[in-house]
Amino acid sequence: MPVSKIRVRDGAQLAYEVKGRVQDAAPLVLIHSLAMDHTFWNAVARALSDATAVVTYDCRGHGQSDKPEGPYRVEQFADDLADLLDHLGWRSAIVAGASMGGCVALAFAAAYPARAAALGLFDTTACYNAPDKWEERAAMAEARGLEAMLEFQTTRWFTDAFRASRKDVLDAAIAVFLANPARCYAQTCRMLGACNLTDVLQRLKMPVRIVVGEEDYATPIAMSEALHRGIAGSTLTVIPNARHLTPLECPERIVAELQKLVEMAPAQ
């Protein structure tokens, strides 16, 4: 299905896709992880589109969206989402993100609390607390290209067993990853290195469900536990035999978590 495009407040264009339609439940926005695109959510979005409208989109610097020069800021990504909701005519939505997408979801809830009906935070953190590591990764991408990072990335994304048994999912993720311009990847790495949303957590009053893979060493369980402690009333689910990209590795578990948020969140 061809994507649609909108122009956000600074003139950049975002590519997005809507499945389903708004019914009696709040609509749902799904935000992909670093160096992925809106297709990251295909299996999850299809499963939920009978219940409500589901929008997936390419963050700036990714996929079919514009790739402006940096620096990038997580607050800017949150503003992009607000502009997308305005374009769709949605006052509020359930906002869920994986890894980088979770950081964007948190930033959106901080900046636009009345517009975040609920949050899904998957394999993510409020603060990586490792700007030097992110700078190293950015510099490597700029110097050697994304091909040089494939082994590092793929072993973090999925368990060994999943990589062996679901080569189709692995190959699709690799193709999306390699399509990223190195300069945009590097700027997004630096954005994540600078991101610190820890002070936001205590202000979040909407339903929040947190999920992490048991074997996730990109955003380890301790980071999700910190989110859970910081957000009153949140739930925390640890998925056995899963690593960092749980929406790809075990989409049925993520669908179940999002279905619960659809049930909990107030309709528009």
Question: pLDDT tens track of the chain, all 268 residues?
Answer: 579 999 999 999 999 999 998 888 899 999 999 999 999 999 999 999 999 999 999 999 999 999 999 899 999 999 999 999 999 999 999 999 999 999 999 999 999 999 999 999 999 999 999 999 999 999 999 999 999 999 999 999 999 999 999 999 999 999 999 999 999 999 999 999 999 999 999 999 999 999 999 999 999 999 999 999 999 999 999 999 999 999 999 999 999 999 999 998 877 6
Which domain, by its residues, includes 179?
4-264
What's the domain count of the chain? 1
Task: Categorise residue 123: left if φ over 0, alpha if ψ from -120 to 50, beta otherwise.
Answer: left
Rounded distance between C-alpha atoms, residue 36 and residue 28, angstroms: 19
Report pLDDT for 236: 98
94-113 tens-digit pLDDT: 999 999 999 999 999 999 99
Q: The domain spanning residue 133 has which CATH number?
A: 3.40.50.1820
53-100 tens-digit pLDDT: 999 999 999 999 999 998 999 999 999 999 999 999 999 999 999 999
pTM over 0.85: yes
The three-class DSSP label of residue 94 is: strand
Amino acid making up residue 231: I
Report pLDDT for 2: 76
Neighbours of 154 (CB within 10 A): 15
Report pLDDT for 24: 83
Amino acid making up residue 157: W
Report pLDDT for 224: 98
Structure tokens at 233: 């009333």
